[in-house]
């Protein structure tokens, strides 16, 4: 306990001194307040994740956006202060839940707690070096990283930025009828969930899940297409060999997701080397495709 408290105080002291240098809008007493609140929230998140296997770190991060964004105010960079406080809060709360899950797994597998703790320290040190390097690799290899329309648009960044603006400016920052639309969609989600839970199984299997419907709105269509193709494969697999699908579907899905993620690293290296793919595939609307065809015909007639 003494080592844990001393380490927490040391990290808090470093954060109080360093983070305001990176984000001047986030004053040192904001950081101190975050580290004062975080242990209670981290305990709640770790306890809840142990029961449900679901981390609510992002929810506690949103709480930091609203609290510290409103505290700083629009005139003192409340948007940046709220987002930076959210990052600090989420890091503490998520780390607590992740460590709890690791030690829970170690307890179930009879692993050595000391070995696990040393491994966590080594992994953290490696992450402090590898993480920035990977970010710099993406930043240098791809144009406009994080912007809408780029290869890596970071859709959650837009969502969190809008929440920070909302936390600073209130309902007046929302577009016209936005709040009404949010209330209608929220009520529709509750009704659809109730209908799915109360309807007979032969009917409920055809009612969509609102959470699954909401994911493409956050992440974009590319994620929905991947999930649609995977669901189609699983559907056919279950028809052909249901026992094998029930046993191996999650492992195969995890492998496909990890493979897609791992491919981003060689893709970055190829992009840094200015290697262009031999084939480019793009899907256009009918009207845009007609304009492209007309433009190509114009070029052909000139040549």
Q: Does residue 101 sit in the same domain as residue 192?
A: no
Confidence of residue 24 (pLDDT cuts 50, 70, 90): very high
Terminal-residue alpha carbon distance, the chain: 78
Beta carbons of 187 and 128 less than 8 angstroms apart: no
- Rounded to whole angstroms, the Cα distance separating 21 from 25 reads 9
Co-location of 153 and 6 in the same domain: yes
Residues 131-181 have pLDDT tens digits of 898 888 888 877 788 787 777 777 788 888 888 888 888 777 778 888 888
Copy the structure tokens of residue 168: 């600073």
Asked whether residue 72 is domain-assigned, the answer is: yes
**Domain-located, residue 74:** yes
Query: Is a pLDDT exceeding 90 seen at residue 10?
Result: yes
Indicate whether 268 pLDDT > 80. no
| Residue 227 banded pLDDT, cuts 50, 70, 90 | confident
My answer on whether 187 and 62 are in the same domain is: no
The residue among 115 and 279 whose pLDDT is bigger is 115
Domain boundary among 158, 189, 219: 219
Tell me whether residue 196 is in a domain: yes
Q: What are 228's two structure tokens? A: 């649609």
Instruction: Grade residue 267 by pLDDT with cuts at 50, 70 and 90.
Output: confident
Residue 195 is assigned to a structural domain of this protein: yes
Same domain, 52 and 161: yes
pLDDT band at 6 (very low <50, low <70, confident <90, very high): very high
pLDDT band at 222 (very low <50, low <70, confident <90, very high): low
Same domain, 48 and 193: no
Considering 162, 194, 219, which residue would you say is the last residue of a domain?
219
Place 220 in a pLDDT band, splitting at 50, 70 and 90.
low
Task: Give the residue numbers spanning the domain of 68.
Answer: 1-110+142-174
Across 261-286, average pLDDT: 76
- At 219 the pLDDT is 65
Q: Do 55 and 170 reside in the same domain of the chain?
A: yes
**Tell me: the pLDDT tens digits for 79-94?**
999 999 999 999 899 9
Which of 58-72, 159-173, 214-228, 278-292 has the weakest average pLDDT? Answer: 214-228
Looking at the structure, tell me whether residues 58 and 193 fall in a common domain.
no
Same domain, 90 and 188: no
| Res. 302: pLDDT tops 80 | no
Identify the pLDDT of residue 86. Answer: 92
What secondary structure does DSSP assign to 254-284, as a single string? Answer: HHHHHHHHHHHHHHHHHHHTTPPPS------
Query: Mean pLDDT across the chain, nearest whole number?
Result: 85
Q: Is 264 among the domain residues?
A: no
Average pLDDT rounded to a whole number, residues 84-109: 88
> Residue with structure tokens 């329309």?
149
Q: Are residues 11 and 96 in the same domain?
A: yes
What's the confidence (pLDDT) of residue 85? 92
- Split into its structural domains, the chain has a count of 2
> Which region among 11-20, 81-90, 270-279 has the lowest average model confidence (pLDDT)?
270-279
Residue 287 lies in a domain: no
User: Does residue 208 lie in a domain region?
Assistant: yes
Of the residues 202, 219, 236, the one at which a domain ends = 219
In a shared domain, residues 75 and 202? no
The predicted pLDDT at position 218 comes to 66
Residue 188 lies in a domain: yes
| pLDDT tens digit sequence for 182-211 | 899 889 989 998 998 898 888 888 888 887
pLDDT of 303 > 70? The answer is no
**Percent of the chain beyond pLDDT 70?**
98
Euclidean distance between CA atoms 202 and 94, whole angstroms: 39
- Supply the DSSP string of the chain, one letter for each residue: -HHHHHHHHHHHHHHHHHHHHH-TTS-HHHHHHHHHHHHHHHHHHHHHHHHHS---HHHHHHHHHHHHHHHH-GGGTHHHHHHHHHHHHHHHHHHHHHHHHHHHHHHHTT--HHHHHHHHHHHHHHHHHHHHHHHHHHHHHSTTTTSTTSSS--HHHHHHHHHHHHHHHGGGGSPTTHHHHHHHHHHHHHHHHHHHHHS-HHHHTTSPPHHHHHHHHHH-HHHHHHHHHHHHHHHHHHHH-HHHHHHHHHHHHHHHHHHHHHHHHHHHHHHHTTPPPS-------HHHHHHHHHHHHHHHHH-
Shared-domain flag, residues 205 and 79: no
**d(C-alpha 257, C-alpha 81), whole Å:** 34
What pLDDT, on a 0 to 100 scale, did the predictor assign at position 208? Answer: 86
**163 and 55 assigned to the same domain:** yes
Per-residue pLDDT at 116 exceeds 80: yes
């Amino acid at each position: 306990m003494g080592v844990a408290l001393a380490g927490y105080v040391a990290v808090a002291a470093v954060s109080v001194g360093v983070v305001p240098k990176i984000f001047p809008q986030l004053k040192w007493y904001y950081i101190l307040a975050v580290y004062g609140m975080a242990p209670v929230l981290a305990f709640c998140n770790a306890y809840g994740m142990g029961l449900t296997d679901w981390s609510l770190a992002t929810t506690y991060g949103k709480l930091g956006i609203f609290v510290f964004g409103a505290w700083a105010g629009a005139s003192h960079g409340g948007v940046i202060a709220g987002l930076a406080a959210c990052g600090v809060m989420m890091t503490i709360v998520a780390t607590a839940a992740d460590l709890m899950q690791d030690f829970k797994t170690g307890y179930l597998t009879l692993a050595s707690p000391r070995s696990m703790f040393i491994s966590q320290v080594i992994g953290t040190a490696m992450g402090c070096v590898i993480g920035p390097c990977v970010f710099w690799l993406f930043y240098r290899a791809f144009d406009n990283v994080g912007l809408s329309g780029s290869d890596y648009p970071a859709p959650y960044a837009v969502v969190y930025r809008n929440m920070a603006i909302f936390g600073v400016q209130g309902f007046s920052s929302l577009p016209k009828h936005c709040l009404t639309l949010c209330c209608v969609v929220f009520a529709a989600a509750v009704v659809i969930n109730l209908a799915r839970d109360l309807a007979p199984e032969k009917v409920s299997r055809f009612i969509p899940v609102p959470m699954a419907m909401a994911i493409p709105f956050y992440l974009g269509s590319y994620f929905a297409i991947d999930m649609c193709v995977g669901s189609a494969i699983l559907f056919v697999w279950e028809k052909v060999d249901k026992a094998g699908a029930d046993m191996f579907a999650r492992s195969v899905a995890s492998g496909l997701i990890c493979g897609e993620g791992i491919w981003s690293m060689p893709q970055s290296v190829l992009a840094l080397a200015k290697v262009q793919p031999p084939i480019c595939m793009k899907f256009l609307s009918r009207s845009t495709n007609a304009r492209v065809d007309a433009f190509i015909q114009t070029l052909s007639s000139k040549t």
